[in-house]
Structure formats: structure tokens, C-alpha cells
Amino acid sequence: MTKTLTRSDLSEAVYQEVGLSRNESAALVERVLDEVVDALLRNEQVKLSSFGTFLVRAKGGRVGRNPKTGQEVPIEPRKVLLFRPSHVLKDQINAATKRGAAPA
């Protein structure tokens, strides 16, 4: 099973690297995540240099089909969250994969 990076892990990394208190580190991580969410709710792109871009896209309604029964099912219009990784991130992941190591 692969490890999952959590908010707590991010807070601990900020604590270790920046030297803020654990509470300040947790508050900083929460504030950054809140800012990202708020921007996405305003339909703004969130571009993190050398990491990637988050954006919200509107998808129109359509008629889908239940694969088991073949019955038509209406699919309501909705918004979806997209993430497009930067070329820098893609290159880092591919380089780590070629070395046989986990991405850094």
C-alpha cells in the first residue's frame, strides 16, 4: 500500500523546514489550502509554478447509459476539478521512475 500525504504531514514538514511552531505551521497550511479553494470557487485558475494548474470546468448535461442494463440515464450539468501537472513535475516523476525510485 502506498503512503498518503496528509494535511498533518504538510504541517509537520513546514514545522521542520521553516521553524514555525506546530500550531503556526498547521494554520499556515490551512490558510494556503483555503486560499486555493476560495480561488477555485471564484472560477479562477490556481497555477503553482513548477507544480501544476488547478482549474474548474463546467460540463454540460447529457444522456448517459447504464452499462449493465443499457437504460438511458440523464446526467445533470456539473463542474469538475482538473489538475494539469507542469512539465517540470512530469519530468521529475518520469526521471524518478526511470531510476526505479519513488518520485522525490
Q: How do residues 57-94 score in pLDDT, each as one tens digit?
A: 999 999 999 999 999 999 999 999 999 999 999 999 99
Non-local CB neighbours of 65 within 8 Å, separated by 6+ positions: 71, 72, 73
The letter for the amino acid at 76 is E
Reported as a single tens digit per residue, the pLDDT across 8-39 is: 999 999 999 998 999 999 999 999 999 999 99
Q: Which residues of 46-67 are buried (b: 16+ CB within 10 A; e: fewer)?
A: beeeeebebbbeeeeeeeeeee
